[in-house]
């Protein structure tokens, strides 16, 4: 219970409360910025990465909306934040690991999100996350999102899981590691107003 409280508190500090124990692919609630607030935009749009790896599999990918940004969360239960490695960057095209095949992703710009966690059980090879390579993420509906346009499963290859996130334009983003979660926020605009 104490761990869930820490996670919920950390996500609340990021601007959106996480619904702990929510059904898979549940969206985060929409929250408004306080009157007169300024949205953070100092995140920049350059590549961001951290080196670490886990054999625990990705079990869910969810999205949510905030008054200042759109959010994607990859759930990897049982992994401490320091053990979640990632690489998040803008790419001209999403190329599937292993094959190099171009995976179409709708939007004015494409962010490649890689997490160094498989989407399958390493002991058996059986899929844990139900994503299908080249297809939209299961259970993720981006209707009404300000920035996100499409989220496509690239695949899971040699212990890494790849997602293509289509966004309206090249915009600032941040990546946050929490116990059991990798969070990617993409700002609605470059200016600091909601």
User: What ranges do the domains of the chain cover?
Assistant: 2-34+45-187
Cα of first residue to Cα of last residue in the chain, in angstroms, is 34
How far apart (Å, rounded) are the C-alpha atoms in residues 40 and 144? 21
The tens-digit pLDDT sequence of the chain (194 residues) is: 444 444 444 444 444 433 333 333 333 444 455 545 678 888 999 999 999 999 999 999 999 999 999 999 999 999 999 999 999 999 999 998 878 899 999 999 999 999 999 999 999 999 999 999 999 999 999 999 999 999 999 999 999 999 999 999 999 999 999 999 999 999 999 987 65
- Give me the pLDDT at residue 193, please: 64
Residue 23: which residues within 8 A CB-CB, separation 6 or more? Answer: none
pTM for the predicted model, two decimal places = 0.81
Which of 185, 189, 165, 174 minimizes the C-alpha distance to 64? Answer: 185
- Give me the pLDDT at residue 4, please: 45
Instruction: Give the DSSP per-residue string, 18-53.
Output: --TTPPTTPPEEEEPPPTT-----TT-SS-EEE---
């Amino acid at each position: 219970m104490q761990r869930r409280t820490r996670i919920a508190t950390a996500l609340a500090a990021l601007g959106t409360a996480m619904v702990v124990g929510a059904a898979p692919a549940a969206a985060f609630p929409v929250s408004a910025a306080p009157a007169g607030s300024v949205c953070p935009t100092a995140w920049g749009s350059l590549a961001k990465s951290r080196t670490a790896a886990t054999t625990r599999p990705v079990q869910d990918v969810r999205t949510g909306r905030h008054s200042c940004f759109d959010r994607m969360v990859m759930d990897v239960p049982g992994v401490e934040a320091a053990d979640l490695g990632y690489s998040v960057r803008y790419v001209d095209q999403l190329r599937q690991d292993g094959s190099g095949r171009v995976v179409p992703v709708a939007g004015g710009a494409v962010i490649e999100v890689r997490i160094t966690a498989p989407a399958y059980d390493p002991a058996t090879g059986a899929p844990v996350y139900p994503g299908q390579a080249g297809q939209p993420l299961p259970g993720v509906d981006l209707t009404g999102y300000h920035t996100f346009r499409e989220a496509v499963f690239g695949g899971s290859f040699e212990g890494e899981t790849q997602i293509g996130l289509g966004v309206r334009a090249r915009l600032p983003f941040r990546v946050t590691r929490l116990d059991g979660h990798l969070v990617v926020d993409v700002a609605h605009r470059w200016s600091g107003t909601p």
